[in-house]
Amino acid sequence: MSLIIASQLDAEFNRGLGQHPIAPILIDVADEAPWSAAAEADILLVRPSPAWRRPTALRPPAWPGRLKWVYSASAGIDFYPPWLLDAPLVTCGRGVASDEIADYVIAAIYAHAKNLEAITARSRAQWINVPLGRVSGTTIGIVGLGAIGQAVARRGLALGAQVVGLRRTGAQSGVSGVEHVGDIETLVARADHIIVAVPATRQTYHLFNAALLAKVKPGAHIINVARGSVIDQDALIDALDGEGGPGFATLDVTDPEPLPDGHALYTHPGVRLTPHVSSNHMLVRHRLLEKVRNDISRFASGEAPSDIVDPVRGY
């Protein structure tokens, strides 16, 4: 089976893709209009490049052209225009960066609990016995028990924390030791560290609003590795500034990205802001290549590839 693949990824990645046993034909993609490759390709491999967000990214009259399949290198597809999902088949890179993101989450938990920088002694006068926070014995609450949430859960349990989780479908996570709760209000009221790992959809937009933030356990640490739109940022700032609300937030994602100069989240003392780097995506590119190659093998043999996006749910 011969396939023509139009790829937005880098040349090194595409060389690895071209070495697949079915010998696919790789063609270039126009940076300013990657969707135009639909006229001549069977598979369009896309990444969240700026072109997809431009006002000119309107549905092409002939979309999806001759395409059989659109493959998003990212796990989320919220970056792309809705018409992308009109392709016959859309899949995503779910799970490729889950371990890296989970490591970031654990690093954020320890950075907050131990705060080694704040207790570092730089003089004899600072040689003071300072009590440290704990991780073992605390409760980690995970909103969204997909690949990322499960990777966090395994690490949290190994560190001696209690892990409670919530999954929109209600299905069990498959990670032994996770306590599943029935609603998000129960989770945020119990957790010392609240991990946000849900996809960006209409249903999750501002899921963490003023009403929910008011139910968060006093002093809790919120970690968002999902999308900035899941948290109402103005409400979060108000909650951090108020009495009895969350004590700290680690945000790897914001809405928009990047935030404009002067935004309060840059300098808020209760916020650690990182520039959407938790996936460490360049260092896991080999895992994405392996996943794409395996999916091409399945597709070429008539099997369904992995992680098919549901157009109705949006993930």
Alpha carbons 296 and 69: distance in angstroms, whole number: 10
- In the numeric block, the tokens 């072109």 are attached to 51
Q: Which two tokens stand for residue 208?
A: 């963490």
Q: Walk along the chain (315 residues) and give the pLDDT tens digit of each residue.
A: 689 999 999 999 999 999 999 999 999 899 899 999 999 999 999 999 999 999 888 999 999 999 999 999 999 999 999 999 999 999 999 999 999 999 999 999 999 999 999 999 999 999 999 999 999 999 999 999 999 999 999 999 999 999 999 998 767 778 999 999 999 999 999 999 999 999 999 999 999 999 999 999 999 999 999 999 999 999 999 999 999 999 999 999 999 999 999 999 999 999 999 999 999 999 999 999 999 999 999 999 999 999 999 999 889
How many angstroms from the chain centroid is the CA of residue 7? 22
Decide: helix, strand or coil at residue 37: helix
What is the predicted pLDDT for the residue at 261? 98
The answer to whether 188 touches 194, Cβ cutoff 8 Å, is yes
Q: Known catalytic residues?
A: 227, 257, 276
Query: What is the 3-class SS of 67-126, one letter each residue?
Result: CCEEEECCCCCCCCCHHHHHCCCEEECCCCCHHHHHHHHHHHHHHHHHCHHHHCCCCHHH
pLDDT score for 56 = 82
Q: How far apart are CA 63 and CA 39, in angstroms?
A: 8
Residue 48 CA, chain-centre distance (Å), reads: 13
Nearest to 67 by CA among 92, 42, 47: 42
Cα–Cα distance for residue pair 213/140, rounded to 1 Å? 16
Find the DSSP H helices in the chain.
Answer: 11-18, 98-114, 116-119, 147-158, 184-190, 210-213, 233-241, 264-267, 285-300
Q: How far apart are CA 226 and CA 276, in angstroms?
A: 10
pTM of the model: 0.95
Which are the contacts of 103, defined by CB distance < 8 A and separation ≥ 6? 155
Structure-block tokens of residue 150: 């499960």
Neighbours of 170 (CB within 10 A): 8
Q: How many residues does the chain have?
A: 315
Give the Cα separation of 188 and 220 in Å (integer).
8
**Distance (Å, whole) CA 232 – CA 282:** 29
Can you give the pLDDT at residue 173? 76
